[in-house]
Amino acid sequence: MTELGLWIQQQIKQAGPRTFAKFMEWALYHPDLGYYTSDRRKFGKAGDFYTSPGINPVFAEVLADQLAEKAALLGGKPFTLIEFGAGEGMLARDLLNRWQSTYPTLYERVVYLIVEISPTLRAVQQEQTSAHAGKIIWMSQEEVKAGGQYCGAVLTNEFVDAFPVHRVVKQADGLAELYVDWKVTSDDRGVEALQGVHEKTVGEHREGDCGHFVQVSGDLSEERIATYVSDYAGGMLRGQVTEVGLPGLDWYREAVELLASGWIVTIDYGFDAEMLHHKSRMDGTLRGFYQHTLIDDPFANIGEQDLTTDVNFTALQDVGAQAGLVTEFYGAQSKYLLQAGILQRLRDVTSADLLRDPDMKRNRAIKQLIMPGGIGDHFKVLVQSRNAPVL
């Protein structure tokens, strides 16, 4: 049992079962022990997973050119780019590198804001982007909101998937929410601490010291959960479990309000609602990543493994539409990159060193980013705009 796992165990013993959303919030964002707030390496070979910007700078190059075209539509106004959850700063570094070398006028007028809650990642980002010292400003979400509305773009890459989710199950008598409890092995303690909780254990468990974590079904913690299921997952079968990402939708609702004019660009893995909540996904999409290994137990390596779920892009589009935004693009990352001309960035390679030649690496990265069945299909790109000219 990890230190954070023991801490969560104590919270549940003291106050009773907690929603899975609260457990996931603790596992990822506990101030000292959470996965994203600790100093544990998360990205790349030494971490738990790769991201598209980490594959090759060509990804950022394409995105930089697309954003430069959009910035040109706004004339000579200052262009503010707000990136939430910038990882290790590679995307910010490569975007600024491209603008500095190819769009010097834009580079001079761009204001780059990064919203990052992890002090460790902030330090890594500052080191990664040291060549652009003074160009980037790090802010909290509250500070960005206090700055009023901006002209420019909000950008996220693998950010929305990291928000906590509620988990629900369709039962014979209706919809129930899954809570996390600690079950003592010796006396098989029930879950009497939470009124209305059914004693049937649902889902995964993890053995621990004199007991284990269990998921138990109970009453919905928020009325909005039922509304979400009605809107997006109405076809759930009996016994089917799915995730309801209210915190991510709440963030998106606030993010679009940051724009007076401009675009919000969301890059993440996910599906439209029909595919996401399809009856073939009886256990939802929750999964963990630990040392590049897919983990199906959310109670393993608590605080040391990533927990993530696929994004409901239909719901994001609806939130944007309700705020008056227009969807300019939604589709697979491969489609977005192909339409943006990534194939024109392939290089003619005659090097004898097929493994180490940088042009060969670039060409392999392009293939990896757009190949059917890979990240180019699973990752989606959503571009919505407010008061912005269309290309």
The pLDDT tens digits for 3-15 are 999 999 999 999 9
Query: Is residue 196 very low, low, confident or very high in pLDDT (cuts 50, 70, 90)?
Result: very low
Q: Which residues pair with 267 in a beta bridge?
A: 157, 381
pLDDT of residue 197: 41
Which of 43-52, 160-169, 241-250, 290-299 has the weakest average pLDDT?
43-52
| pLDDT over 50 at 75, yes or no | yes
More confident residue, 47 or 199: 47
| Domains of the chain: residue spans and CATH | 3-34+166-244 (no CATH), 52-163+246-290+305-386 (3.40.50.12710)
Burial of 186 (0-12, 13-18, 19+ CB in 10 A): exposed
- Look at residue 352 in the predicted model and tell me its pLDDT: 60
Instruction: Evaluate whether 314 touches 272 at the Cβ level (below 8 Å).
Output: yes
What are the C-alpha distances in Å from 13 to residues 1, 211, 309? 16, 12, 27
Q: Identify which has the larger pLDDT, 23 or 211.
A: 23
pLDDT in tens, 316-349: 999 999 999 999 999 999 999 999 999 998 888 7
- What is the per-residue pLDDT for 141? 93
Measured distance CA(43)–CA(361) in Å, rounded: 19
Q: Rounded to 5 degrees, what angle do the CA atoms 299, 304, 307 make?
A: 60
